Amino acid sequence: MVVALDMNSREISIGSYVRYINTGTKGIVRDILEKEGKIWVLLDNNLMYRPEKLEVIEHKKKKDRTVKEKIEDILEKENIKEIESNIDACGAG
């Protein structure tokens, strides 16, 4: 059995919910493979990732997320630290 550890040295196992730290992509681990001496983690999006670039996270159902949580996820994914709260916007035309 191949053992994979995430960026925080937590064990990754089949069924774990993980986040790829470079893009914020989240998914469920479908398999853990060893190819040419390197360990790879296959997610449910059919892409393989190096385990040290993954972080095991708590799985939240999308329907349970609030609007605020969805916005926070988008901001985190886009690496936006803060929103300007006094922005004036108007329609074109």
Tell me the domains of the chain and their CATH numbers.
4-77 (2.30.30)
- Give the pLDDT confidence of 19-48 residue by residue, as tens digits: 999 999 999 999 999 999 999 999 999 999
- The span from the CA of 43 to the CA of 32, in Å, is 9
Specify which residues 18 forms β-bridges with: 27, 56
pLDDT value of residue 65: 72
Is the full-model pTM beyond 0.85? no
Residue % of the chain over a pLDDT of 70? 80
Q: Are 11 and 5 in contact (CB under 8 A)?
A: yes
